[in-house]
Amino acid sequence: MPKIRVPQEWENDKVIVEWFEIVKNARTQENYLREFPIFFDFVKANTEYKTPSQIIESRAKQEKSDNMAEKRFWETLVIKYMHYLEGKGYRKGTISSYLRTVLSFFSHAHYPLRYARKELLGAIEPNEKDKVQKDWVPSNEEIRVLYRMAQSARDRGILLTLYGSGFAPVDTCALNIEHFDFYDDKGDWQIPSTEDLYIGKLREKTNILTQTCISREALEEIRIMLQSRGFPKQGALFVSVHGQRLAPRDINDIIKAIVKRAFNGKAELWETKNLRDSYRNALIKAKIPDDCIDAMFGHQRQGAKGHYNLSEDTIKTMYAEAFKFLTINGYGSQSRKLEELETKFTEQLRVMTEIMTELKNERDSVKAELAEIKNEQKTIKKMIGDNDKRFEPIEKKLGIKHKEKVDLT
């Protein structure tokens, strides 16, 4: 049963309310609610300020001071906060996230903190875990193992959607059935099993357009999942056993459970973003141009390239190349070959049928011409027979005898 969070008194502070009115993304708010109290407790323990409003009021007064130590009071305190987090043994990425929450708090209150380059985020000391990198970017073979360890079509669909599209969990949670043309007007599934489905979607965190595809393999699992739900026409694509839309944390838990079953020894290294890393590596292996990778990965395209749109056809063409490195069932698998052979056989059968129809028409035409020739022969023969009878009396008088008879048949 999920733990219910009890709202704290500081959340009703005017500065916090205004902050969250600007930052409306639910996932971001959730992160801030978890991370800001750590900074707030540090402030209360080391200063006289006990509310968020008092922090901002002090900042407004200190900015007017000519004394640099007083003017930069909060910049200095946040650096001390950074060292406090380092002392706690947090990893560099975690500390960066906590500091960005603090920077957002001051910025949205219109009193941003100012630092020289590498004075804050760039000055974070890596801990011992950071110094020896053990990041796990799963290979295609490892993803295949995870796929086999998933226990339902829904879980396999989530895994393949994350791995094959580059979507983050928060983007995957936001997918709705009506975002896709899964069914025709009669409710029949209409996406061929040999095609990937293009989707252009704004990322939930950044509102940057991601142009990617849902792979044919993910679509097959999604089809099975939706069939078990009676092929609904709308609503969340991925839901819990109770029919509720999954949250990012639910998806993280689902994938984490699969990883533990497949690679229990590596479970502590796992982060769901590893699937995005694997997706990007596949794009690189396929030698896709950088600006296409940015578009397919949901990153801002740099320079003038960002002013030009990439077509659906371009993305699908690039994706077809990347799919060679993303496929789970095997780009050259027996099932894939059977599908290709079936398609090829159907096309060849169509061509042969057209040729046979054409030959039949030609045969019928020749038969008609032969019948016409025979009729003409009969007419000629009859005419000759009539002429023979007409000339018989004359031939008898003249004593003409025919030695040979011409057979016109």
Mean pLDDT, the chain, integer: 85
CA distance 164 to 379: 78
pLDDT at 373 exceeding the cut of 90: no
Answer yes or no: do 252 and 320 share one domain.
Answer: yes
* Angle, vertex CA 206, rays to CA 200 and CA 209, nearest 5: 20
Span of 54-58, 127-131, 142-146, 265-269 with lowest mean pLDDT: 127-131
What kind and span of H or E run contains 130?
Answer: helix 128-131
Answer yes or no: do 106 and 160 share one domain.
Answer: no
Give me the phi and psi of 268, to 5 degrees please: -70, -20
Q: Quick one: average pLDDT of 74-98?
A: 91
Do the domain assignments include residue 154? yes
Contacts of 91 (CB under 8 A, 6+ apart): 126, 127, 129, 130
Amino acid at 409: T
Per-residue pLDDT tens digits for 251-269:
999 999 999 999 987 888 8
Q: Quick one: average pLDDT of 274-291?
A: 93
Better-scored residue on pLDDT, 302 or 236: 236
Do the domain assignments include residue 2? no
Answer yes or no: do 372 and 288 share one domain.
Answer: no
Q: Which domain holds residue 308?
A: 140-331
pLDDT at 345 exceeding the cut of 90: no
CA distance 127 to 89: 7
Q: Which of 68, 103, 131 is the last residue of a domain?
A: 131
Answer yes or no: do 123 and 153 share one domain.
Answer: no
Answer yes or no: do 310 and 356 share one domain.
Answer: no
Answer yes or no: do 205 and 323 share one domain.
Answer: yes
Q: How far is CA 401 from CA 87, 104, 395, 408, in A?
A: 136, 126, 7, 19
Q: Quick one: average pLDDT of 213-239?
A: 94
Answer yes or no: do 268 and 390 share one domain.
Answer: no
Answer yes or no: do 77 and 99 share one domain.
Answer: yes
CA distance 172 to 133: 28
CA distance 20 to 36: 12
Q: Which of 100, 131, 162 is the last residue of a domain?
A: 131
Q: How many domains does the chain have?
A: 3
Q: Which of 331, 350, 368 is the last residue of a domain?
A: 331
CATH number of the domain that 298 lies in? 1.10.443.10
Answer yes or no: do 261 and 326 share one domain.
Answer: yes
Per-residue pLDDT tens digits for 100-111:
999 999 999 999
- Binned at pLDDT 50, 70 and 90, residue 332 comes out as very low
pLDDT for 386 equals: 63
Answer yes or no: do 346 and 253 share one domain.
Answer: no
Answer yes or no: do 184 and 302 share one domain.
Answer: yes
Better-scored residue on pLDDT, 282 or 194: 282
- pTM here? 0.63
Q: For tokens 């025919």, name the residue.
A: 402
Per-residue pLDDT tens digits for 155-212:
999 999 999 999 999 999 999 999 998 988 787 899 988 899 999 999 887 888 999 9
pLDDT for 158 equals: 96
CB atoms within 10 A of CB 288: 20
Answer yes or no: do 372 and 397 share one domain.
Answer: yes
